Amino acid sequence: MSANDIQSRLNECGTRREKANGLFRTSKFSEALSEYKDIAAVIDSIVTSNSLDSGSELMQQCMIAKIPCELNGILCLLNLEKYQEASALADTLLGYDTIHFKRVQHAKLQYRKGVAEEKLGHREAALRFYETASKIDPQDSKIKSAYNRLKVTPEDVQELEEFLSTGKMPSFAKTPSNSEMNQRFPNLQEALEKSGLKMTNFGMNLG
């Protein structure tokens, strides 16, 4: 197959991906997933049948076309609550060379792997993936929120509940910086206000 033929096939895959995106946007996750899988399979067949070198420009074009389909496939699986499959597909993508990923794509992969792991009850693993995602894309508020939420341990929650009921300062907040407290407990100010407690009563200023 010539380079032009391969590019033509990839263009067709791009058109199909837009159709799959439309299915996803209308919450037809099963149908979208099936389409994403089919597109990825077509691209795999292009790579294998033409023995494309991993460092070639054509291989890069194939990966540019394939990765969004698989990333969206993970998202479909998460929405379908098929967390084990989502985690397994994420593992496949984690095995790809990172040169094929845009920065935002790599962050999405790490984040979605984290979501799957959290849903499977693997808290520590999820936290690691959220942390990696937050380092790759520190401006993504969704990633940051997930990371900060999971950083809070059950022991922290217990101490925080005691703080809200009795005013006893949690051990993790003996000498907190404003930014650290805001990151660990972004809703603490609101929770305190609802409880009728004042931040100044406990020498804290979250700013």
Quickly state the pLDDT bin for 191 (edges 50, 70, 90).
low
Mean pLDDT of 109-138: 95
Checking if the pLDDT of 44 tops 50, the result is yes
Give the confidence band of 200 by pLDDT, cuts at 50, 70, 90. Answer: very low
Spatial distance between the Cα atoms of 12 and 58, rounded to a whole number of angstroms = 15
Lowest mean pLDDT among 32-36, 46-50, 172-176: 172-176
Confidence of residue 95 (pLDDT cuts 50, 70, 90): very high
Residue with more model confidence, 160 or 151: 151
Could you identify the residue written with the tokens 């950083």?
Answer: 151
Whether the pLDDT of residue 198 is over 50: the answer is no
> Is the pLDDT assigned to residue 23 strictly greater than 70?
yes
Contact by Cβ (8 Å): 96, 45: no
Rg (Cα) of the chain, in Å, rounded? 22
The Cα 102–Cα 47 span in angstroms is: 20
8 confidence band (pLDDT: 50, 70, 90): very high
CB 175 within 8 A of CB 203: no
Specify the pLDDT at position 131. Answer: 94
Residues of the chain with pLDDT > 70, as a percent, come to 75
Asked whether the predicted pLDDT for residue 192 surpasses 80, the reply is no
Is the pLDDT reported for residue 65 higher than 70? yes
Neighbour count for residue 22 (Cβ, 10 Å) = 13
The DSSP line for 11-80 is HHHHHHHHHHHHHHHTT-HHHHHHHHHHHHHHHHHHHHHTT--TTSHHHHHHHHHHHHHHHHHHHHHHHT
Q: Please give the residue that has the higher pLDDT: either 203 or 108.
A: 108
Mean pLDDT over 112-121 rounds to: 96
Is the confidence at residue 87, as pLDDT, over 60? yes
Give the mean pLDDT of 17-42.
96
